[in-house]
Amino acid sequence: MANKGLQLLGFTLALLGMIGLIVGTILPHWKMSAYVGDNIITAIAMYQGLWMSCAFQSTGQMQCKVYDSILQLDSSLQATRALMVVAILLTVFGLGVASMGMKCTNCGGDDKVKKSRIAMTGGIIILVGALCSMVACGWFTNQIVRDFYNPFTPVNTKYEFGAAIFIAWAGAFLDLMGGGMLASSCPKANKSTTRYPKSSRPPSSSKEYV
């Protein structure tokens, strides 16, 4: 059965991954304005996230505006938002399930096989959440790269990767490792019958000698 230390390490990594996903989803720095071309304007830096867009001025002031309408957003942004929210919810649920099946907790009863199955189920749920976040980050990354190298995209509207997308990638990989460690809690069935070695002694005779 899985080692207690491996389960604890997997739970810790998944918890850190969940924090990374939450921080990455909230931050508005998924992509930032790219300074390319001959006319470079550095007075204002534009940032776009999943929920708002921000303008950072050289004076140190930042103004952010939340997206007014969901229908006006492009499909990649809508899909990324939905997948990141689903990934966070699945990770939270998976951590709750895994905590009941870990050896260092008293939840889930005293049956070791049952607890291992619960921990394995929690790890699988976390793996699904990690997969959702990786698809979301990959989709958004691909969209940034396509728009950057698109010759029809104006130079002043090109963007490059922001800090939040790297935080989200890190959270996804931590969830992937933590969920894999928890999912390795493969239960083994307990043997109800105990086998004893066959005796090599000859059978005793029931006759009595006088």
Identify the structural domains of the chain with CATH numbers, from first to last: 4-27+71-152+163-183 (1.20.140.150)
> Alpha helix (H) ranges present in 27-162?
75-101, 112-149
What average pLDDT does the segment 96-115 reach? 75
Pairwise CA distance, residues 58 & 6, whole Å = 48
Q: What is the pLDDT of residue 199?
A: 52
* 131-166 pLDDT per residue, tens: 999 999 999 999 888 888 887 777 777 888 889 999
Average pLDDT, the chain: 81
What average pLDDT does the segment 9-30 reach? 93
User: Which segment, 34-38, 161-165, 202-206, is predicted with the most confidence on average?
Assistant: 161-165
Check residues 112 and 38 and name the one with the higher pLDDT: 112
- Our CA dihedral for 166, 143, 50, 40, rounded to 10 degrees, sits at 80
Q: What is the pLDDT of residue 109?
A: 61
Check residues 76 and 196 and name the one with the higher pLDDT: 76
Strand partners for 161: 31
Q: What is the pLDDT of residue 125?
A: 95
Q: What is the pLDDT of residue 209?
A: 46
Pairwise CA distance, residues 5 & 12, whole Å = 10
Q: Is the pLDDT of residue 46 over 50?
A: yes
Q: What is the pLDDT of residue 137?
A: 92
Pairwise CA distance, residues 54 & 46, whole Å = 6
Pairwise CA distance, residues 75 & 100, whole Å = 38
Percent of the chain predicted with pLDDT > 90: 32
Least reliable range by pLDDT among 60-64, 80-84, 102-106, 170-174: 102-106
